[in-house]
């Protein structure tokens, strides 16, 4: 099976309600508040060290039986910039995509440099929904 580094669009950042342990790298996030500055319509976005997906993406990933990920609640907010530039834009719901797998073995994993690594199967699922702004390159174990 082929694997890929994927760098999703950064559509915002960690919001003020995010709870994280900064004494380690990458920080360990225990409560994620993703604050949007904009949204490119992709089903997967990131703010280091966290990833979020739409519920439709979560459902398709679960239906596909992919390994190396679990899902949790995420708090979503909009920055002042978002409100100023996109006042009529409604964001969909999102869920926190937590990576638990090993890169190059599971469908989701984190490389030593903390980049997301996904299998071709996972990439196909995400591309089938909406994933046009992510940077994708081959992962070589």
| 99 DSSP β-pair partners | 69
The pLDDT of residue 48: 93
Tell me the H-state helices in the chain: 55-63, 80-85, 120-129
Render each residue's pLDDT in the chain as its tens digit; 141 residues.
Answer: 899 999 999 999 999 999 999 999 889 999 999 999 998 899 999 999 999 999 999 999 999 999 999 999 999 999 999 999 999 999 999 999 999 999 999 999 999 999 999 999 999 999 999 999 999 999 986
- Number of domains into which the chain is organized: 1
Question: Cβ(41)–Cβ(21) under 8 Å?
Answer: no
The pLDDT of residue 107: 98
Domain that holds residue 62: 3-138
8's CB contacts (< 8 A; 6+ apart) are 42, 44, 45, 46, 51, 116, 131, 133, 134
Question: Cβ(5)–Cβ(136) under 8 Å?
Answer: yes
Whole-model pTM over 0.75: yes
């Amino acid at each position: 099976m082929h694997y890929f580094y994927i760098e999703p669009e950064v559509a915002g950042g960690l919001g003020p309600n995010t709870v994280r342990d900064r004494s380690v790298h990458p920080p360990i996030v225990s409560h994620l508040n993703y604050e949007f500055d904009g949204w490119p319509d992709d089903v997967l976005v990131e703010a280091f060290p966290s990833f979020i997906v739409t519920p439709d993406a979560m459902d398709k990933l679960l239906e596909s039986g992919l390994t190396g990920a679990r899902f949790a609640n995420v708090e979503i907010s909009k920055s002042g910039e978002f409100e100023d530039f996109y006042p009529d834009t409604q964001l969909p719901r999102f869920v926190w995509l937590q990576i638990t797998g090993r890169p190059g073995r599971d469908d989701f994993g984190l490389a030593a440099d903390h980049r997301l690594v996904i299998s071709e199967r996972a990439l196909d699922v995400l591309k089938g929904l909406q994933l046009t702004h992510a940077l994708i390159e081959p992962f070589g174990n």
